Amino acid sequence: MHGIAPRGEARSILIVDEDDELVLTIGGLLRRAGYSVTEAHSGQAAVEVARNEVPELVLLGVALPDGSGFEIYRELRDALGSALRVIFMSRGEGGPNDEVAALLLGADDYLTKPFFPDVLLARVRRLADPTESRSVEPPGLTRRELEILSLLVEGRREPEIARDLYISPRTVAKHIEHILGKLGVHSRAQAVALAVRHGVVPERAGGVVAEGD
Protein backbone atom coordinates (compact mmCIF):
# COMPACT_ATOMS: atom_id res chain seq x y z
CA MET A 1 0.00 0.00 0.00
CA HIS A 2 1.18 3.50 -0.78
CA GLY A 3 1.85 5.93 2.05
CA ILE A 4 0.98 9.57 2.50
CA ALA A 5 3.12 11.77 0.27
CA PRO A 6 6.45 12.76 1.85
CA ARG A 7 7.10 16.39 2.70
CA GLY A 8 8.22 18.52 -0.21
CA GLU A 9 6.10 16.72 -2.85
CA ALA A 10 3.00 18.22 -4.49
CA ARG A 11 -0.04 17.61 -2.34
CA SER A 12 -2.47 15.12 -3.86
CA ILE A 13 -6.17 15.79 -3.27
CA LEU A 14 -9.11 13.51 -4.08
CA ILE A 15 -12.51 15.17 -4.65
CA VAL A 16 -15.61 12.98 -4.25
CA ASP A 17 -19.12 14.31 -4.74
CA GLU A 18 -22.39 13.55 -6.53
CA ASP A 19 -22.40 17.02 -8.15
CA ASP A 20 -20.25 16.67 -11.29
CA GLU A 21 -20.13 20.42 -11.86
CA LEU A 22 -18.96 21.08 -8.32
CA VAL A 23 -16.24 18.43 -8.64
CA LEU A 24 -14.96 20.06 -11.83
CA THR A 25 -15.09 23.56 -10.32
CA ILE A 26 -13.21 22.57 -7.17
CA GLY A 27 -10.73 20.55 -9.22
CA GLY A 28 -9.91 23.54 -11.39
CA LEU A 29 -9.55 25.80 -8.37
CA LEU A 30 -7.14 23.43 -6.60
CA ARG A 31 -5.08 22.75 -9.73
CA ARG A 32 -4.60 26.49 -10.21
CA ALA A 33 -3.44 26.62 -6.59
CA GLY A 34 -0.75 24.05 -7.37
CA TYR A 35 -2.29 20.84 -6.07
CA SER A 36 -2.42 17.49 -7.82
CA VAL A 37 -6.11 16.57 -8.10
CA THR A 38 -7.99 13.32 -8.69
CA GLU A 39 -11.76 13.21 -9.08
CA ALA A 40 -14.40 10.57 -8.33
CA HIS A 41 -18.18 10.76 -8.65
CA SER A 42 -19.19 7.86 -6.39
CA GLY A 43 -18.05 6.38 -3.11
CA GLN A 44 -16.77 3.08 -4.45
CA ALA A 45 -14.91 4.81 -7.28
CA ALA A 46 -13.25 6.98 -4.63
CA VAL A 47 -12.10 3.96 -2.63
CA GLU A 48 -10.60 2.34 -5.74
CA VAL A 49 -8.85 5.54 -6.79
CA ALA A 50 -7.47 6.14 -3.30
CA ARG A 51 -6.11 2.60 -3.02
CA ASN A 52 -4.21 3.01 -6.29
CA GLU A 53 -2.79 6.43 -5.46
CA VAL A 54 -3.19 7.51 -1.85
CA PRO A 55 -4.14 11.19 -1.57
CA GLU A 56 -2.94 13.57 1.09
CA LEU A 57 -6.45 14.95 1.55
CA VAL A 58 -9.98 13.91 0.55
CA LEU A 59 -12.84 16.34 -0.03
CA LEU A 60 -15.78 14.00 0.54
CA GLY A 61 -19.47 14.65 -0.09
CA VAL A 62 -21.87 13.54 2.62
CA ALA A 63 -24.44 12.50 -0.02
CA LEU A 64 -23.11 10.23 -2.79
CA PRO A 65 -24.90 8.39 -5.63
CA ASP A 66 -24.11 4.99 -4.11
CA GLY A 67 -24.61 5.70 -0.43
CA SER A 68 -23.50 7.78 2.51
CA GLY A 69 -20.21 9.63 2.61
CA PHE A 70 -19.93 8.57 6.25
CA GLU A 71 -19.75 4.91 5.16
CA ILE A 72 -17.14 5.71 2.50
CA TYR A 73 -15.17 7.64 5.12
CA ARG A 74 -14.92 4.49 7.24
CA GLU A 75 -13.79 2.46 4.23
CA LEU A 76 -11.10 5.01 3.40
CA ARG A 77 -9.86 5.10 7.00
CA ASP A 78 -9.80 1.30 7.20
CA ALA A 79 -7.90 1.03 3.93
CA LEU A 80 -5.51 3.97 4.25
CA GLY A 81 -5.08 4.64 7.94
CA SER A 82 -5.56 7.60 10.25
CA ALA A 83 -2.94 9.82 8.58
CA LEU A 84 -5.38 10.55 5.74
CA ARG A 85 -7.00 13.96 6.09
CA VAL A 86 -10.71 14.31 5.24
CA ILE A 87 -12.97 17.35 4.78
CA PHE A 88 -16.68 16.59 4.48
CA MET A 89 -18.85 18.67 2.13
CA SER A 90 -22.64 18.89 2.55
CA ARG A 91 -25.63 20.86 1.34
CA GLY A 92 -26.64 21.01 4.99
CA GLU A 93 -29.79 18.86 4.80
CA GLY A 94 -28.87 17.10 8.02
CA GLY A 95 -28.31 20.36 9.87
CA PRO A 96 -25.77 20.61 12.70
CA ASN A 97 -26.16 16.89 13.44
CA ASP A 98 -24.30 15.99 10.24
CA GLU A 99 -21.41 18.25 11.18
CA VAL A 100 -21.21 16.83 14.68
CA ALA A 101 -21.37 13.26 13.34
CA ALA A 102 -18.61 13.96 10.82
CA LEU A 103 -16.28 15.50 13.37
CA LEU A 104 -16.89 12.84 16.01
CA LEU A 105 -16.14 10.17 13.42
CA GLY A 106 -12.70 11.74 13.14
CA ALA A 107 -13.02 13.99 10.07
CA ASP A 108 -10.70 17.00 10.05
CA ASP A 109 -13.19 19.60 8.84
CA TYR A 110 -16.68 20.17 7.50
CA LEU A 111 -17.94 22.61 4.86
CA THR A 112 -21.54 23.50 4.02
CA LYS A 113 -22.31 24.23 0.37
CA PRO A 114 -22.19 26.73 -1.18
CA PHE A 115 -18.84 27.91 0.11
CA PHE A 116 -16.54 30.68 -1.02
CA PRO A 117 -13.44 29.56 -2.99
CA ASP A 118 -11.14 31.41 -0.58
CA VAL A 119 -12.69 29.58 2.37
CA LEU A 120 -12.17 26.21 0.68
CA LEU A 121 -8.56 27.03 -0.17
CA ALA A 122 -7.86 28.17 3.38
CA ARG A 123 -9.24 24.94 4.83
CA VAL A 124 -7.33 22.83 2.29
CA ARG A 125 -4.05 24.66 2.91
CA ARG A 126 -4.41 24.25 6.66
CA LEU A 127 -4.58 20.47 6.24
CA ALA A 128 -2.48 19.79 3.15
CA ASP A 129 0.33 22.34 3.46
CA PRO A 130 3.55 20.32 3.91
CA THR A 131 4.80 22.83 6.45
CA GLU A 132 1.89 22.09 8.77
CA SER A 133 2.61 19.85 11.73
CA ARG A 134 0.61 16.64 12.08
CA SER A 135 0.76 16.68 15.83
CA VAL A 136 -1.75 18.51 18.00
CA GLU A 137 0.09 21.00 20.17
CA PRO A 138 -1.12 21.69 23.69
CA PRO A 139 -3.75 24.39 23.26
CA GLY A 140 -2.68 26.47 26.29
CA LEU A 141 -6.19 26.71 27.70
CA THR A 142 -6.65 28.34 31.09
CA ARG A 143 -8.25 26.45 33.96
CA ARG A 144 -11.52 28.33 33.42
CA GLU A 145 -11.46 27.60 29.67
CA LEU A 146 -10.93 23.90 30.37
CA GLU A 147 -13.90 23.98 32.75
CA ILE A 148 -16.09 25.54 30.07
CA LEU A 149 -14.84 23.15 27.38
CA SER A 150 -15.63 20.21 29.66
CA LEU A 151 -19.18 21.50 30.10
CA LEU A 152 -19.56 21.92 26.34
CA VAL A 153 -18.52 18.27 25.94
CA GLU A 154 -21.30 17.38 28.39
CA GLY A 155 -23.77 19.18 26.14
CA ARG A 156 -24.35 22.26 28.30
CA ARG A 157 -25.51 25.52 26.70
CA GLU A 158 -24.18 28.96 27.52
CA PRO A 159 -26.92 29.96 30.03
CA GLU A 160 -26.43 26.67 31.91
CA ILE A 161 -22.65 27.12 31.97
CA ALA A 162 -23.05 30.68 33.25
CA ARG A 163 -25.37 29.48 36.01
CA ASP A 164 -23.13 26.58 37.07
CA LEU A 165 -19.94 28.68 37.13
CA TYR A 166 -21.59 31.82 38.60
CA ILE A 167 -20.47 34.02 35.71
CA SER A 168 -22.39 36.01 33.09
CA PRO A 169 -23.44 34.53 29.73
CA ARG A 170 -21.38 37.28 28.08
CA THR A 171 -18.28 36.07 29.94
CA VAL A 172 -19.01 32.49 28.88
CA ALA A 173 -19.31 33.61 25.24
CA LYS A 174 -15.97 35.43 25.49
CA HIS A 175 -14.28 32.34 26.95
CA ILE A 176 -15.73 30.18 24.15
CA GLU A 177 -14.36 32.65 21.59
CA HIS A 178 -10.90 32.28 23.17
CA ILE A 179 -11.22 28.48 23.21
CA LEU A 180 -12.06 28.34 19.49
CA GLY A 181 -9.10 30.57 18.68
CA LYS A 182 -6.64 28.55 20.74
CA LEU A 183 -7.85 25.24 19.30
CA GLY A 184 -7.85 26.64 15.75
CA VAL A 185 -11.46 25.64 15.04
CA HIS A 186 -14.53 27.49 13.78
CA SER A 187 -17.41 26.20 15.89
CA ARG A 188 -18.25 24.71 19.27
CA ALA A 189 -18.99 21.38 17.58
CA GLN A 190 -15.46 21.29 16.17
CA ALA A 191 -13.99 22.25 19.56
CA VAL A 192 -15.89 19.44 21.29
CA ALA A 193 -14.86 16.88 18.66
CA LEU A 194 -11.19 17.88 18.87
CA ALA A 195 -11.23 17.90 22.67
CA VAL A 196 -12.66 14.37 22.82
CA ARG A 197 -10.48 12.93 20.04
CA HIS A 198 -7.22 14.27 21.44
CA GLY A 199 -7.91 13.96 25.14
CA VAL A 200 -7.92 17.68 25.91
CA VAL A 201 -10.81 16.91 28.25
CA PRO A 202 -12.33 13.52 29.10
CA GLU A 203 -15.50 12.46 27.27
CA ARG A 204 -18.52 12.33 29.55
CA ALA A 205 -22.13 11.30 29.24
CA GLY A 206 -24.40 13.78 27.55
CA GLY A 207 -24.99 15.37 24.19
CA VAL A 208 -22.92 17.70 22.09
CA VAL A 209 -23.77 21.36 21.75
CA ALA A 210 -24.73 21.98 18.15
CA GLU A 211 -27.29 24.75 18.41
CA GLY A 212 -25.97 28.06 17.16
CA ASP A 213 -22.76 26.65 15.60
Fold of 143-197: Arc Repressor Mutant, subunit A (1.10.10)
- Statement: residue 2 has pLDDT above 70: no
Q: Where are the domains of the chain?
A: 12-128, 143-197
DSSP-assigned letters across all residues of 138-157: -----HHHHHHHHHHHTT--
Split at pLDDT 50, 70, 90, the class of 191 is confident
105 near 193, Cβ under 8 Å? Answer: no
What CATH code would you report for 12-128? 3.40.50.2300
Identify the residue with better confidence: 46 or 130.
Answer: 46
Q: Residue 14: pLDDT band by 50, 70, 90 thresholds?
A: very high
Residue 213 reports pLDDT greater than 70: no
Query: Which stretch of 7-21, 120-134, 169-183 has the lowest confidence by average pLDDT?
Result: 120-134
Is-contact 87 14, C-beta < 8 A? Answer: no
Confidence of residue 202 (pLDDT cuts 50, 70, 90): low
100 or 197: which leads in pLDDT: 100
**Predicted confidence (pLDDT) per residue in 87-133, tens digit:** 999 987 767 788 888 888 889 899 988 888 888 998 898 888 755 44
User: Which band of pLDDT confidence, cut at 50, 70 and 90, is reported for residue 163?
Assistant: very high
Element (H, E) at 14: strand 12-16
% of the chain surpassing 70 pLDDT = 82
**Quick one: which of 143, 118, 150, 140 has its CA closest to 184?**
140
The H-or-E segment that residue 109 falls in is strand 109-112
pLDDT of residue 100: 85
